[in-house]
Amino acid sequence: MADITQLKNEWAQTTLQRILARFPERRQSFATTSGIPVERVYIPDDVRADYIRDLAFPGQYPFTRGVQPTMYRGRLWTMRQYAGYATAEESNQRYKYLLEQGQTGLSVAFDLPTQIGYDPDHELAEGEVGKVGVTVSSLEDMETLFDGIPLDKVSTSMTINAPAAILLAMYIAVAKKQGVDVSKLRGTIQNDILKEYVARGTYIFPPRPSMRLITDTFRYCNDNLPLWNTISISGYHIREAGSTAVQEVAFTLANAIAYVQAATDVGLDVDSLAPRLSFFFGAHSNLFEEVAKFRAARRMWARIMRDRFGAQDPRSWMMRFHTQTAGCTLTAQQPDNNVVRVTLQALAAVLGGTQSLHTNSRDEALSLPTEDSVRIALRTQQIIAHESGVADTIDPLAGSYFVEYLSDEIEMRTQEYIEKIDAMGGALAAIEAGYMQREIQESAYRWQRAVDHKEQIVVGLNEFTISETTSLRLLKVDPAVRERQMARLSALKQQRDNRRVRDLLTDLEQTALRQGHDTAKGTSPDPDRREKNLFPVILECVESYATLGEICGVLRRVFGEHKPSVAL
């Protein structure tokens, strides 16, 4: 009788070869600079069948080692540099520059007034127009932003939350004007309002009507934009606010559970929704912890979707995520050191199996990045992809005693948080009680105390310091941007069909009144009214050149504005 270990090994190798044969790769051979061949994936020689099923094969449940069987040997991650500043014209030129330099996807940064639903002529927009992103208040601005960029040829990510439905509607309207079939649009809207209440602060409406806007967007995209990721559930901003790696995963997954539950509660099929969910994480400098974080998060999400929500489609179990290097780790002191930090963080993201990556620029602790700094950040990704060899085999740190231990520990500690949040009634209840906010604040305090006492060394900040004045050329936004945008907005309002705009805004208000009243109470809408989705009405408003501020103004009157009960 054959040895059982030998039989298991033969089974494992046969299974591995069958999987490898099904998926093509980017090029014919992978080898080190010494000519040593590099296999697609490595597993222990004395391997158990259950180990193969649960860990060794990427592209198989629970996806610890990656969501695709070939990972970067089949296709490199999307290099998506987050960009936007001043006017749509200037940002359009930056996007074209980045695409010329080899960027493979666009990522739009909006200014603060746009993020909180104000046009440039609002008094609260003064001093902020175009400063931390591009100003977009109408379809006209969105048309300019993507002028000369065919939307059926690029994937676009938009970091927008409270008014996400409005900005997505503008993007769809631009695609229609370009003659693009909207069913072919690829990209992501962040659309993650819960983390705004937890960590970031660019909310507009209270949580419950905000959740209704999100599920209405889910419903519209489910029927019309099959390739679009309808939400990017963000741990990045939770981490930027001061959380630990464990808290980042735990609170992100808790929020994701809330979104899936809200979507299924309004009748969406989990297997229609789940393959279009994406995630967004930060990558920090503790390389091994970050790699383990990504691996643990991936397998936890697979189990949540399969076991908690009963998803049947394997695509529903896959956690696909974008990563950005950690802005909060960058220092204004000795800014060239930030190139090294970003390199380490980008390496962690790639070793952890990210699908998309943004690398921060060296000058971002001082200003928006210049073209020179953005190019260095993009080249960092390209060097990792093409020169380091880390993309030649899948999950190369798997099997490391340390990495496997860290992956298990992060999963265990994350699960404890999720169970505690479940006991509170879920993420929304935990946020309303201020639980997540307090946990992040305490973590941020502990970190700052450690830095202040030199228990945590930050090179160039609290140790290894020098007397310096920066020699970097910094990007400065013209303060006249607001005046130019106000003039443009005034001209738009004179040229459009204002009667139609008023009629459509009235229709929006009536639709929001019906649904907003029910949603604000936390109850299900009347079944006779549930089919009246807000998103198509918003799209009509946008196409008539109603502005962002006008649309948000209507929704503010109906839904009210969120007033936090605890300090963020």
Q: 58 — phi, psi (to 5°)?
A: -65, 155
pLDDT for 529: 42
pLDDT of residue 528 exceeding 50, the answer is no
470-519 pLDDT, tens digit per residue, is: 778 888 888 899 999 999 999 999 999 999 999 999 999 999 997 543 44
CATH 3.20.20.240 fits 75-452, yes or no: yes
pLDDT of residue 565 exceeding 80, the answer is no
The CB-side HSE value for 93 (13 A sphere, CA atoms) comes to 7
pLDDT for 83: 87
Is the CB of residue 242 less than 8 Å from the CB of residue 444? Answer: yes
pLDDT for 524: 47
Q: Label residue 425 left, alpha or beta by phi (over 0 means left) and psi (-120 to 50 means alpha).
A: left
74-122 pLDDT, tens digit per residue, is: 999 999 988 899 999 999 999 999 999 998 889 999 999 999 999 999 9
Give SS3 for 109. Answer: strand
425 vs 258, 300, 422, 429, CA distance in Å? 10, 20, 5, 6
Strand order in the sheet with 228-229: 228-229, 186-189, 155-159, 105-109, 78-83, 356-358, 321-325, 277-283, 231-234
Is the CB of residue 81 less than 8 Å from the CB of residue 107? Answer: yes
Is the CB of residue 40 less than 8 Å from the CB of residue 73? Answer: yes
177-230 pLDDT, tens digit per residue, is: 999 999 999 999 999 999 999 999 999 999 999 999 999 999 999 999 999 999
Tell me which of 17-31, 253-267, 515-529 is least confident.
Answer: 515-529
50-71 pLDDT, tens digit per residue, is: 555 556 689 999 999 999 999 9
Assign 41 a pLDDT band (cuts: 50, 70, 90): confident
Is the CB of residue 59 less than 8 Å from the CB of residue 19? Answer: yes
Is the pLDDT higher at 544 or at 5? 544
pLDDT of residue 521 exceeding 80, the answer is no
How far, in Å, CA of 463 to CA of 461, rounded?
6
Kindly state the helix (H) or strand (E) to which residue 107 belongs, with its residue range: strand 105-109
Domain spans, the chain: 4-56, 75-452, 498-559
